[in-house]
Amino acid sequence: MGEGKSPTEKRLVEYAVERVVDETNTDTKILVLTRRDGLPDSFPIWIGAAEGHAIKLALDTTLTPRPMSHDLIKSFMEHLNVSVRRVVIGDVKNSTYYATVYLENNGVERTVDARPSDAVSLALRTHAPLYVSEDVLARRNTANLEQWLAKQAQKSSSSEQEVRES
């Protein structure tokens, strides 16, 4: 369980999930977040293939015949009357991002430590807002980002198929 500072103590920027991009030749996907306030900024987070799939299902509001893992989490929360207030990506250590899920039940708030992929997957399914702390934005790993941007530039210059999901 995380003991993340409350959002009033941390300066937060609201983000939205833009899309999930396939990384060719690897078992990872890239979760791309964009700022809600419209300022140009793409925030990519490398996640596992299964986690990427779970986010894609929520983004596309795909109905699966059986509940997927994050649907089950949502179902638990509905049964227990727990809601997701917000998700905050509030820390980064050794290129690993840390998220905190803020929960509420009858006025009782709890925070749970999570990987950003799980936190985002749940936020999308519960329509909870997603924030990134300014601290994380300042400290994020730009090496990965630059590499990724270079790749994106290559892609758009070639006539390869567009991977945009939205």
Partner 1 sequence: MITQMHLKGLMFDPYNNAYIVVLRDEDGHEMLPIWVGKAEAGAISMALENVAPPRPMTHDFMKSILDAYEAKVISVVITDLNENTYFAKIHLMYQDSEYTVDARPSDAIALALRSNAPVFAKESVLNKQSSEELEQWLENLKPEDFGKLDS
Of residues 106 through 145, those in contact with partner 1 by CB under 8 A are 108, 110-115, 118
d(CA 40, CA 51): 26
The residue (of 12 and 47) whose beta carbon lies closer to partner 1 is: 47
Pairing of strands 12-22, 108-114: unpaired
Strand order in the sheet with 108-114: 42-48, 28-35, 12-22, 130-133, 83-93, 96-105, 108-114
DSSP state at residue 66: S
Complete DSSP assignment for 35-59: ETT--S-EEEEEEEHHHHHHHHHHH
User: Which segment (59-67, 123-131, 148-156, 157-165) binds partner 1 by CB under 8 A?
Assistant: 59-67
The residue (of 94 and 158) whose beta carbon lies closer to partner 1 is: 94
Site string for partner 1, 82-101 (x = CB under 8 A): x-------------x-x--x
Site string for partner 1, 32-51 (x = CB under 8 A): ----------------xxxx
The residue (of 6 and 67) whose beta carbon lies closer to partner 1 is: 67
Residue 35 class from Cβ within 10 Å (0-12 exposed, 13-18 middle, 19+ buried)? middle
62 is an interface residue for partner 1 by CB under 8 A: no
Complete DSSP assignment for 131-145: EEEHHHHHHS-HHHH
151 is an interface residue for partner 1 by CB under 8 A: no
Give the residues lining the site for partner 1 (CB under 8 A).
1, 48-51, 54, 65-70, 72-73, 75-77, 79-80, 82, 96, 98, 101, 103, 105, 108, 110-115, 118
